[in-house]
Amino acid sequence: MIKLKDILLETYAPLVEATKPLSDKDKKKAKDAGLVHFGSGAWGKKADKGKKNAKATHRNEDGKLVKIKTQTSKQQKQPAKPVDDKPKSKKDQEKAQKASEKKERKELEKIKKAKVVIKTPGKADKEISIEDILPEPFGNAKDDSHPQADDAKQKVYEMYQERYDKEYEAEKKKRLKNKDKKGDPILSKEEQALYDKEVEEANEFNKKNKKDIADGNEFAEEVPDKEKWLSKKLYKDYKAKADYFDPDGNEWGNKNNYWAKKEAGEEDDFFGDLGDDDEDWDMDDEKSVDAYGEKLSSKRGGKEQQQAMELKLRVPVGNLKKIKQDTNHYVTNEDGNKVPVTVFQDPKTKKYHAVDDEGNIYEGETADFRKAKPTGDLGGYPGGQTKTGKKISDKRMGKDDDDDYETTSFADLLSMLSFGASDDIDWSDPVN
């Protein structure tokens, strides 16, 4: 009965009489506030008494007048929004791509107009625009032989640092506000897999070194909470974006660096097609690129896809070792079909990583991936998806143009026919 009373007293029209009358002090307090007794221990505004659906504003709790707390619309807990890393439909992907191109054009124009200050003893400071110092895409110079080229490159880097610092703070604020019922920030599937992995490794280390930690000979690994972990990951991600333009990164042998690629004569598609007209974004070549405009791999597990995987996993390029094809190197994709994967091993961690044609990546302690679920994907990485993988994803989205795509090679099919579940797989067309 006490519990029922508590429940009823929390409503706006309590049905249970208070055990004690209001004290003289609280009666005066109610009178001064213009409150009258509604009955059953509930008090409210005098003008509302007798009205239908009148709501009490106060109640009698053991002789004391207590205000009934109500949630405003802003205070009411909104359902947490799931994290959606990428647009789903082809139309939304194209729209997002165009918006990204437009944003990059504006940022690039801002950099071009930025000034580099030249200080010469005995002379007034002189300012030169970056576009007059550096070659395309930052300027109009024929090459980077200008005396102030190094200063201009440093200025470019600093402007990207400033930009990505702001974007990091905005993204962190937005992500940390989006919480689940436990009060933790909601992670994407890929982030959740990485977080679980880090927690597992910290717990394993602490368990393995329990005695040394207790004796003070070893420091315990911190098991991160989700908020701290997500903040750290976002910081690293945005810092990496800025560091791509660090002119010193080239000197330290960082090949995944804009200036290093320019020096090596490699094409860099960071800026994409930054023409003046928004409508010039060319979708005619969509069959040779993925949904993010990146080039497709020629084959699953080939050099291009392996490099994409190494960049994604932050493993030095060339370090993953390909494992010989085996009968347990396949997974069940989201359509319920069994599809082959190529398996690699990280010699440092001894862990196995697998990738399918669509660019989904998997992780395991062994090379058996038959029951594995994706821990991430290579979307947005050059060579992350193969032509066969694009065919599968396009068909899932309702596009079915078989003649425009290469099918799995005959040699690849023969190598996969040794699967124990080969009877369930139509290797002549892995899409159907």
pLDDT of the residue at 177:
92
pTM for this one?
0.46
- Kindly tell me if the per-residue pLDDT of 235 is higher than 60: yes
State the pLDDT at residue 334: 87
pLDDT of residue 125: 86
Give the model confidence (pLDDT) of 372-425 as tens digits.
Answer: 999 988 887 888 999 888 888 888 877 655 444 344 444 444 444 444 444 444
pLDDT level of residue 80 (50, 70, 90 thresholds): low
pLDDT at position 53 is 72
CB–CB of 72/66 below 8 Å? no
What is residue 81's predicted lDDT score, i.e. its pLDDT?
59
The confidence score (pLDDT) of residue 79 equals 53
141-192 pLDDT, tens digit per residue, is 888 888 889 899 999 999 999 999 999 999 999 999 999 888 999 998 888 9
Radius of gyration of the chain (CA): 31
